[in-house]
Structure 1
Amino acid sequence: MSGPGRPTAGRASAGAAPVLGLRENLPQFALLVAVNALVGGTLGQERTVLPLLATEEFHLDLYTSALTYIVAFGLSKAAMNYFAGILADRFGRKPVLVAGWLAAVPVPAMLILAPDWSWVVAANVLLGVSQGLTWSIAVMMKMDLVGPSQRGLAMGLNEAAGYLGVAVTALATGYIAAEYGLRPGPFLVGAAYIALGLGMSVVLVRETRGHARAEALGHVDAHEHAHGGLTSGQVFTLTSFRDRSLSSVSQAGMVNNLNDGLAWGLFPVLFASAGLGLGEIGLLAAAYPAVWGAAQIVTGPASDRWGRKWLIAAGMGVQAVGLALVAATQGFGAWLAAAVLLGLGTAMVYPTLLAAIGDVAHPAWRARSVGVYRLWRDGGFAVGALLSGVLADLYGIPAAVAVVAALTAASGAVVALRMRPGDHARR
């Protein structure tokens, strides 16, 4: 926040350093929140519809085959997350954001016109590229603007906007599909989001790399490796394996999205097999990201106050309970309660993981560290789709869900045992 003798506007006067803080940069921050809601909505167009499209229109019998679009999405998004950080440090944040929206432009038309499943898989490669660039950059730009003191709040607002966008669109497309069919109606919503997001990013979004440079001047190292001169390879190794906190966060992010890939690909099929209609399936598909999105407004700033470690560990445990409830019960009411638990646990984890990366990583290589974390995290989509698809084909969907619940609980235990407490306090 601003202090004595510092300018109060986020855009500094000529020759002055940019000013950090949420209040000082509120108009641009709010704009980026809106942009990320559109990014989430672009993903949400698929959450209810594609699993049913696979079984009802393309007649894919094996779950492993049906989930190939999630594998394609997860791999391309994970790769773009990594390169987003490198590109953002080299060329700036805004050009990468715009490039991400451009990658999404063909996606709705490909999904509407797809004559076979390979088109759907190809569309999800492009969607993964788009999501990896746009969502990663939205995260980085908000971190740039607010500085260290409100990072949890910033990530809570960012992820809340994105996943409320997912939830609202999943619900809306479920009702559109029930009324007008699985194609083209639901994907026209995504086309509108892409047009609006691209226009806002080109015309209204401003570059924020200068804010990161200003923060770097007064940065206090979180550990002995946190100087600004690391290579991209060193950042990868540090974030993935060497640093206790960064590596704990990376594995937890991967497992979190492993169970999200399961929920995305198999839950609608499970619900449909139990006789639920498209409206009920859309509501269940929306409830999980809706609770996830809304609760992050609370859990993000709570991590600023209470710390990251135990909120992450507890959140993984709550997710595991929600998944176990899906595996052990049947019926709309029980599954709705499970979706709420899964959303609440994810809300405890998601913004906190991002804030924890920002706590430890030096501003000079923070964008690259965020990219590495998001590489591991969104690689979880592919791992989750493959693992849950194979298990579901062999043993059924409830067994696949139970195995993923156990993995999620184990991931929380890793965080509890390995992650350093109090890194956020050093900032």
Structure 2
Amino acid sequence: MEPRHSPNRTDIEHGIFVNRHQFGLHLLQIFMVGLTIGMIRVVVPGLAETEFGLADQAFFLLTSFVVVFGIIKAVMNLFAGRLSEQYGRKSVLVWGWLVALPVPFLLLYANSWGWVIAATVLLGFNQGLAWSMALNSKLDLAKPSQKGLVNGVNEFSGYVAVGLAGVMTAYFVDWFGAREGLFIFSLAVILLGLVLAEWTIVETLPWAARHQALVESPDAEPDSRSFKQLFRLASRDNTALVAINQAGLVEKFTDALVWIFLPVYFLAQGLTLVEAGAIIAVYGLVWGGGQLVTGPLSDKIGRKGLIVWGMWLCGAGVLAIPLSQGVVWWSLEAGLVGLGMAMLYPNLGAAAGDFAPVAHRASVIGIYRFWRDSGYAFGALAMGLAAQISQDLQTPFWLVAVSMGLSGIWVALKVHYSDDKDPPTTASEKRG
């Protein structure tokens, strides 16, 4: 799908302000994608037994839909960047919305847990394609010195939407019933996202090409590394990228815990679905809103410290939840976890971009996002087994807290910027 208005090379200028119209439209795309995943983060786990046929105490099966989501999203992240370099960012964005169209109907007519898993597979495709492209397009439009800001506002838009959708769908379910409420909300969001992607978005590959031309010498040989070589670079050879990728994987343990076990845990403590949704929304809103500060802050003071302390704050907040009682305490602890995520989340993505060869930034960020979102699968699988064996809802909290602490230590020891300069200068754009 070619853009209706492709810019001439003379029209291309980098910067968020000068490209604010398209930048804002891509933020709206991220908000829509956040709504699509946020709509099932409270309602589906909370009503897994009563509405979708899942047996009580079937903790391992409860995690299965997040395991599947993580695998699909991780694989799509891996290839979305490469696909966008071949077919364009806009085409991949539109594909992401098209594949999500059956989701509302699967949730409406689900007569077993398998239907929920099928819907989650499609949501994994949607997330991997649409979120990746909206982020890469904003990075194309922005200046190299704005990567932290881009990641901050990107994750703000997406995870504020995740938090809001959790509360909104809880109310929709209260008003219309579980299936009907999910159907109305999800169909409206997906159709709107598709229409806006097709009719308002402009292809940003020309901006990406201009980035590459600005940092490469005219006489330089083109960087023609294969995808296999790039994957090996990011996953084995570059110690900083390996540390960043493992931190991305482990931090998803926290989000998987919030997604799967927090609604179930709060309902087991006697809260209503709306009350549980409100507490979990605190996590999403603090996470999303905090990134407006932590993303651009990393461009000024550096990314590493924010990442490491964010990992440790998340671990502390997760551990505190089962050790306390009451809505007030749980809301404060959810906010603490959200703050930790705000510190680490946009800056892990920005750090991956710092160490990526400019010509292959979308691919390397895609590899980071592959490892990061595979954390949904690894984390959900580990937590599900731990809870199933122990038959104790508190076990996953301990598992996640310890994992976050150890992962933060790894980043502290292995991520080093050249000449000890963090935040990176534009010279780091030439690394690779």
> Shared fold (TM-score greater than 0.5)?
yes
Q: Name the structure 2 match of 1:283.
A: 278
Residues 1:45 and 2:36 aligned together: no
Equivalent position to 2:13, from 16, 19, 23? 19
Matches within 5 A, 1:90-129: 90-129=86-125
Rounded to whole Å, the distance in 2 between the matches of 1:302 and 1:227 is: 33
**Letter matched to residue 350 of structure 2:** A
**Which residue is 2:429 aligned to?**
none
- What secondary structure is seen at the aligned counterpart in 2 of 1:47? coil
Is 1:153 paired with 2:152?
A: no
CA contact (8 A) 2:307 2:344 kept: yes
Q: How far has the Cα of 1:237 moved from its partner? A: 1.1
Cα separation, 2, equivalents of 1:43 and 1:15: 37
Quote the residue 1:6 is aligned against: none
- Within the candidate set 322, 334, 339, 2:334 is matched to 339
Residue 227 of structure 1 deviates from its aligned partner by 7.3
Q: 1:173 to 1:365 in 2, by over 3 A?
A: same
Q: Which segments of structure 1 move beyond 6 Å, counting only runs of 4 or more? A: none
Moved more, 23-32 or 170-179: 170-179
CA spacing shift, 1:386–1:358, aligned 2, 3 Å: same
Structure 1 unpaired stretches of 5+: 1-10
When structure 1 is superposed on structure 2, of 175-184 and 313-322 the one drifting more is 175-184
Percent of counterpart pairs with the same letter? 40
TM-score, structure 1 length as denominator?
Answer: 0.93
Matches within 5 A, 1:374-413: 374-395=369-390, 396-413=392-409
**1:354-373 residue pairs with structure 2 within 5 A?**
354-373=349-368
RMSD over aligned Cα atoms: 1.7
Which one of 413, 416, 420 corresponds to residue 420 of structure 1? 416
- 8 A Cα contact 1:359 1:423, kept in partner: no
Q: Deviations over 1:45-100 (max 9, x none)?
A: 10111102212221423110111111111110001001101101111111000000
In the TM superposition, what whole-angstrom CA distance separates every residue of 1:236-261 from its partner, at most 9, and x where no partner exists?
Answer: 11112211221111111111112211
Q: Are the structure 2 counterparts of residues 204 and 331 from structure 1 closer, same or farther at C-alpha, using a change threshold of 3 Å?
A: same
> Is the deviation greater in 236-245 or in 30-39?
236-245
Contact 2:108/2:182 (8 A) holds in 1: no
1:17-36 residue CA offsets vs partner (Å, 9 max, x unmatched)? 62111111110001100111
- Deviates further, 339-348 or 175-184: 175-184
The amino acid that maps onto 2:24 is: A
- Are positions 1:243 and 2:267 aligned together? no
SS at match of 1:19: coil
Q: Using the alignment, how far apart are the partners of 1:187 and 1:165 within structure 2?
A: 18
Give the counterpart letter for 2:278 in structure 1: L
Equivalent AA in structure 1 for residue 31 of structure 2: A
Contact between 2:140 and 2:205, CA under 8 Å: does it hold in 1?
Answer: yes
The alignment status of 1:310 with 2:305, answered yes or no, reads yes
Pair 1:13–1:276, CA change in 2 (3 A): closer
**How many Å apart are 1:166 and its aligned residue?**
0.7
How far the C-alpha of 1:184 sits from its partner, in A, is 1.5
The alpha-carbon deviation at position 108 of structure 1 amounts to 1.2
CA distance 1:402–1:130, change in 2 (3 Å): same
List gaps (5 residues or longer) in structure 2. Answer: 427-432
Give the aligned partner of residue 255 of structure 1: 250
> Is the partner of 1:150 in helix, strand or coil?
helix
Task: Name whichever of 417-426 and 344-353 sits farther off.
Answer: 417-426
The Cα shift of 1:229 comes to 2.2
C-alpha distance in 2 between matches for 1:274 and 1:14 = 60
Distance 2:20 2:305 in 1: 30
Contact 1:76 1:128 in 2 (8 A): yes
Does residue 85 (structure 1) correspond to residue 81 (structure 2)? The answer is yes
Partner of 2:135: 139
| Structure 1 CA distance for aligned equivalents of residues 273 and 87 of structure 2 | 44
- How many residues align? The count is 413
- Select 1:216's aligned residue among 212, 217, 222: 212
Residue 43 of structure 2 contacts residue 273 of structure 2 at CA under 8 Å; is this kept in 1? no
Could you say if the C-alpha distance between residues 171 and 15 of structure 1 is closer, same or farther in structure 2, counting changes exceeding 3 Å? closer
For 1:280-302, what per-residue CA distance to the aligned partner results, in whole angstroms no more than 9, with x for missing partners? 11101211111100110000000
Structure 2 counterparts to residues 254-273 of structure 1, below 5 A: 254-273=249-268
* 1:54 is aligned to 2:54: no
Secondary structure in 2 matching 1:425:
coil
TM-score, length of structure 2 as denominator length:
0.92
Q: SS in structure 2 opposite 1:183?
A: helix
Post-superposition shift, 1:277? 0.8
3-state SS in 1 of match to 2:243: helix
Conserved? CA contact 1:47–1:285, under 8 Å: no
Name the aligned partner's letter for residue 368 of structure 1: S
Shift of 1:12: 9.7
Asked whether the equivalents of residues 159 and 287 of structure 2 are also in contact (C-alpha less than 8 Å), the reply is yes
Query: Do 2:71 and 2:374's aligned partners in 1 also have CA atoms closer than 8 Å?
Result: yes
8 Å CA contact retained: 1:168, 1:286: yes
